[in-house]
Structure 1
């Protein structure tokens, strides 16, 4: 099945609140479907109240990109996600994963216990199970899972509505495509692709990540970069859906305006 395109924007609060609210309105007016928040303590306001404000201001879907399971007890995370589904009348998507690179250092700084990869994945599983229990038969909170290894992929195939590969910027197109195609070979889930680099601009929340040099990414034909010309980006995005199955593309807020013409052309197609 060929899924229609949709587009999300990761838009953390990196400015004063009125400027951020203006940005949110611009994103909604440009045809994007989803406003997303990273889960980074001490960096910005917590995801849930921030997303609730965005959902009240616009008709956007909202979601976490993504909850870091080592930072969050399973039941309280599920309760928060279910509450967001109820309050937004079904416009919340729970993104969750086992934690970004460097999460071990962050846990130590916060005075929290470390967790092995298996323990982190088990917490994701527990969170999803608790969310489904809270949702009951009348609510379905979509789950977006960020995965990489085979165990995480297997869990995502079993429980997720949308899957994104937790790729490194240096991963080749073939490597990421292989993981994505392996997942879709088991179940036809929606595939999401995070693109942190557009043209020569790196999304602000990814600026500290390694291997995000735009020229190097283009040379490697990486999936982590798109052209900043809307027509060229539209052509490349259609190629990625045709060859790999990607239909949901997530961009940084700085790229939202640049690629708005592409979104206007392709959203829902």
Structure 2
């Protein structure tokens, strides 16, 4: 039985798995090499964002899956504002089919800069309420593709939803397989606990089957200059704020933090940037599948 099957069957145990966020490479060879390296390091998933400054996520993920054998691939996350509902269902079913069900559909209702991307694509971005309503329709269409739309294997892909505000958190708790908490890099464990509470209330009896995901932005005491500029802060500032997105110390110490966080909050799926994949690999070795 695969590690993924064990995770899904034992979801009440909230077994660990880990993803790494990649943005592309200088060419196709570098991109597929990064996918193979993520697989070799023990990561469960290779994830990529949905921005016009990076390769289109679904073709990129198809290439990554073709270059690997066990690695799962996922959008983190696809903006529902940028595509028609039926198109998302069609492409998700197609990618699940082409990857042998190794595709995970990550969805979001918007992000900073998302409105500019929508404008460049010539599509209406919509209000927050309109985007959340569209996301709900996407969930319906992915679960049951509209008539005449290719349905792939007939097994809908696993759905991750990124959420930080109450309405979207409630929808994620009710409908998603995985909920990824989109919080400030300065957010601490108390902030995460509040979001978990909203998801728990919305999920009800299905809460034990909902996987909870958080992102670690920095591993270690140093941040590369480009990442510090993107985050708008230093590692010292994150540490002073008690950021849950910063892990420091030995691999065992990091593993202990994540194990406690899982036991107290239920967060068992952790993502890190590709920049820190090598540094984080010993933690993956200590915890993956446990």
Separation in 1 of the partners of 2:225 and 2:32? 17
SS at structure 2 position matched to 1:146: strand
Change (3 A) 1:172 1:142: same
Offset of residue 155 of structure 1? 1.1
Separation in 1 of the partners of 2:225 and 2:47? 14
Deviating more after overlay: 70-79 vs 242-251: 70-79
Q: Give 1:44's aligned residue.
A: 54
Q: Give 1:158's aligned residue.
A: 174
Q: Give 1:57's aligned residue.
A: 67
Change (3 A) 1:210 1:30: closer
SS at structure 1 position matched to 2:215: strand
212, 232, 251: which one aligns with 1:191: 212
Offset of residue 128 of structure 1? 1.0
SS at structure 1 position matched to 2:272: strand
SS at structure 2 position matched to 1:163: strand
Is 1:198–1:227's contact at 8 Å kept on the other side of the alignment?
A: yes
103, 109, 120: which one aligns with 2:131: 120
In the TM superposition, 1:94-133 aligns within 5 A as 94-133=105-144
Q: Give 1:30's aligned residue.
A: 41
Separation in 2 of the partners of 1:52 and 1:133? 22
Is 1:196–1:202's contact at 8 Å kept on the other side of the alignment?
A: no
Change (3 A) 1:167 1:205: farther
The normalised TM-score by structure 1 is 0.92
Change (3 A) 1:70 1:209: farther
Offset of residue 226 of structure 1? 1.3
Q: Deviations over 1:138-193 (max 9, x none)?
A: 41311000012221112112210000111112323212221113313432210011
Q: Give 1:169's aligned residue.
A: 185
Change (3 A) 1:206 1:108: farther
Q: Give 1:261's aligned residue.
A: 282
Separation in 2 of the partners of 1:2 and 1:247? 9
Gaps of 5+ in 1: none
Offset of residue 210 of structure 1? 4.2
Separation in 2 of the partners of 1:84 and 1:178? 34
Change (3 A) 1:131 1:53: same
Q: Give 1:219's aligned residue.
A: 240
Change (3 A) 1:104 1:216: same
Q: What root-mean-square deviation, in Å, do the aligned CA atoms of Structure 1 and Structure 2 show? A: 2.1
Change (3 A) 1:235 1:24: same
Is 2:17–2:44's contact at 8 Å kept on the other side of the alignment?
A: yes
91, 101, 124: which one aligns with 1:90: 101
The normalised TM-score by structure 2 is 0.85
Counting matched residue pairs gives 268
